[in-house]
Amino acid sequence: MTQTPSRRTVLRCTGAGAVALCTGCGGGGDDGSSASPGQELARTGDIPIAGGKVLADEKIVVTQPKKGEFKAFSAVCTHQGCIVSDVRDGTIDCACHGSRFAAADGSVVRGPATKPLPEKRITVEGNSVRLA
């Protein structure tokens, strides 16, 4: 299946500063988030084990694949750029076309997406999950 970049991606990748902005181009996704380093994303108690929480405004999904192990990924589906909808049974699910990504590492579990969700660096301080 051939993917074509969205108009926004094409514009972003052909404009000034394209070199710095194009590292994630080509899959049609936009993994930019509005969160700032150090920003609290969630409380640890709000993230279910084997599940997670989608932060649509920040475009980040926080997961807890195993008890006490937290991960964060871009919430922008690498298929066509929808915000993923849910995390359950160990996968991050996109309702647009049914792609699923592993909550542990963002890898593709089921297409049509072919690229993993980019991981976001986080720190856990006490009960707070923060963007690194």
* Residue 113 touching ligand FES (CB under 6 A): yes
Give the separation between CA 113 and CA 106, rounded to whole angstroms. Answer: 11
Residue placing its CB nearer to ligand FES in the complex, 43 or 110: 110
CA-CA distance, 52 to 15, in Å (whole number)?
A: 35
Q: Does residue number 97 form part of the binding site for ligand FES (CB under 6 A)? A: yes
**Closest approach of ligand FES to the CB of residue 113, in Å:** 6
Question: What is the dihedral angle through the alpha carbons of 71, 29, 24, 129, rounded to the nearest 10 degrees?
Answer: -20
Phi, psi of 113 (to 5 degrees): -60, 145
Among 72, 92, 99, 101, binds ligand FES (CB under 6 A): 99
CB of 15: closest distance to ligand FES in angstroms? 23
The dihedral region occupied by 73, where left means phi > 0, alpha psi between -120 and 50, and beta the remainder, is beta
Site size toward ligand FES, by CB under 6 A: 12
Determine if 96 is a binding residue for ligand FES (CB under 6 A).
Answer: yes
In the bound state with ligand FES, the residue whose beta carbon lies nearer, of 42 and 76, is 76
For residue 108, state whether it binds ligand FES (rule: CB under 6 A).
no
Q: Where are the alpha helices (DSSP H) in 15-72?
A: 18-21
Q: How far apart are alpha carbons 14 and 12 in whole angstroms?
A: 6
The 51-90 site mask, x for binding ligand FES (CB under 6 A), equals --------------------------x-xxxx--------
